């Protein structure tokens, strides 16, 4: 397996041998990821359509339970108010406070990048 270091915190792994675990994992990832993306998009579309249909059948209700024959569970569509903290605005309006309360975390992610 070739490894080229291109700076203090970046490495490029090239030409892993065909029997390596990394090659097998990357091959499986490349095979499954497009299907996962398509399924994720389809589930999102179906979820939004269920919300619309349930809302039309039970207009004005904040909770709609969908209990269909043959399902082993009930689906619940619930409308509620959700509060979120506007970090971007807080950082712009109160930079000193933002710095005092900001917490640095390290996250490792996997994503495709252009060659």
Read off the pLDDT of residues 95-114 as tens digits, 9 standing for 90 and up.
999 999 999 999 988 888 87
Helix (H, G, I), strand (E, B) or coil at 86: coil
Least-confidence region, from 8-12, 27-31, 53-57, 105-109: 8-12
Domain-located, residue 13: no
Q: What is the mean pLDDT of residues 76-102?
A: 94
Cα-based angle 4, 9, 11 (whole degrees, multiple of 5): 20
Percent of the chain at pLDDT exceeding 90: 63
What is the total count of domains within the chain? 1
Q: Does residue 4 have a pLDDT over 60?
A: no
User: Which residue range(s) make up the domain with 96?
Assistant: 19-101
Domain-located, residue 111: no
Domain-located, residue 3: no
Q: Does residue 11 have a pLDDT over 80?
A: no
Compute the distance between CA of residue 1 and CA of residue 15 in angstroms, rounded to an integer.
5
Q: What is the pLDDT of the chain when averaged over all its residues?
A: 87
């Amino acid at each position: 397996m070739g490894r080229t270091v291109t700076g203090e915190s970046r490495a490029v792994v090239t030409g892993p041998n065909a029997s390596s675990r990394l090659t097998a994992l990357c091959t499986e990832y490349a095979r499954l990821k497009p299907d996962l993306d398509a399924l994720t998009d389809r589930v999102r579309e179906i979820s939004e359509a269920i919300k619309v249909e349930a809302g039309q059948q039970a207009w004005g209700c904040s909770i709609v339970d969908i209990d269909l024959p043959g399902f082993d569970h009930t689906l619940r569509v619930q409308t509620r108010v959700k509060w979120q903290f506007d970090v971007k605005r807080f950082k712009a309006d109160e930079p000193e406070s933002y710095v005092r309360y900001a917490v640095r975390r390290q996250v490792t992610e996997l994503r495709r990048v252009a060659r």
